[in-house]
Amino acid sequence: MKTRTEKYEMIVIGVSAGGTEALGKILPELPENFPLPVTVVQHMHPSQDAFLSRYLNERCAVTVKEASDKEPVQPAHVYFAPANYHLLIEENRTFSLSVDEKVHFSRPSIDVLFESAVDAYGSCLVGIILTGANRDGASGLKLIKQSGGMAIIQDPATASSCYMPKSAVDAVDADYILPLDDIGPFLREKFSPVSRQATR
């Protein structure tokens, strides 16, 4: 039987204002052999290029890239939603891109990613809400929690913009509310192969 830690198969992250700093602290903590894929929606300008994923790829042991339509999900990868596209995860664990209407004034939308990830991964999902200036992601994180997944929220006191994590705290009975500096080490220690071995 799998332990609670071993059951998880995907991490989804939602972030907006202040995301470059937050992700720049969290993602470099992940080891090269990190066993889970990570998928990120960062709110951005519709014409923004892939600078953020390139910037983080140079600083991370895992591969960081923009997701492509129909691309299979792989471990030890961090996937970003491209600018001006909703990013969804299909039930066969591949990505799809959509230009459907904005959700919470955003495309990509965090809720769209989170809700599709629940359809694909069910209770085997970890959802994280970080700094941001609107409430996108709160209902998606609540769905992850209701489906048996793990809900993590950045402590609003450590957020560059506290509205998004505060909205999530109000909506979700989170498993963890963590300061920004603690989230990367938490993911590394909780889900890396070494920590899994130690739990047996």
Q: Residue 184 corresponds to which tokens in the numbers above? A: 């990367």
Which residue out of 77, 109, 136, 192 is catalytically annotated?
A: 136
| Cβ–Cβ < 8 Å for 161, 18 | yes
Give dist(CA 164, CA 151) in Å, integer. Answer: 14
Q: Looking at this protein, which amino acid is placed at residue 140?
A: G
Residues 6 or more apart from 86 whose CB is under 8 A from it? 97, 98, 99, 100, 103, 107, 108, 109, 112, 113
**Strand pairing report for 10-15 and 38-42:** parallel
R_g of the chain computed on alpha carbons: 15
Q: Which residue has the tokens 């071995």?
A: 197
Q: Residue 146 corresponds to which tokens in the numbers above? A: 């209701």
To the query of whether residue 43 is one of the catalytic residues in this protein, the response is yes
To the query of whether residue 98 is one of the catalytic residues in this protein, the response is no
The values of phi and psi at residue 150, to 5°, are -100, 135
To the query of whether residue 77 is one of the catalytic residues in this protein, the response is no
**Strand pairing report for 38-42 and 77-80:** parallel
Active site residues: 16, 43, 136
